[in-house]
């Protein structure tokens, strides 16, 4: 799991698929209890912008994290 999450957060945060990749990786990083889960949530939020799907993933992840 940590390798998959690291790959999702690598590369350009402005590329159009970044919102999908980062939100999709942030959610399981929280569920798995990875030590950088909070950082992943914050980074994914930066790229989510107007992406409803990414926002939904982040909302679920934040609920699991207790935010």
17: which residues sit within 8 A by CB, 6+ positions away?
A: none
User: Does 12 score more than 70 pLDDT?
Assistant: no
Return the higher-pLDDT residue of 16 and 37: 37
Q: What average pLDDT score do residues 21-40 get?
A: 89
What percentage of the chain carries pLDDT values higher than 70? 78
State residue 45 phi and psi, 5-degree precision: -65, -30
Nearest 5°: the CA angle 20, 35, 2 is 55
pLDDT confidence band for 49 (50 / 70 / 90): confident
Q: Report the distance separating Cα 32 and Cα 60, nearest Å.
A: 14
pTM > 0.75: no
User: Does 29 score more than 70 pLDDT?
Assistant: yes
């Amino acid at each position: 799991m940590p390798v998959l999450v690291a790959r999702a957060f690598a590369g350009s945060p402005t590329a159009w698929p970044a919102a999908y990749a980062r939100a999709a990786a942030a959610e399981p990083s929280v569920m798995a209890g990875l030590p950088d889960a909070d950082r992943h949530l914050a980074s994914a939020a930066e790229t989510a912008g107007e992406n409803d799907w990414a926002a939904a993933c982040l909302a679920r992840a934040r609920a699991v994290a207790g935010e």
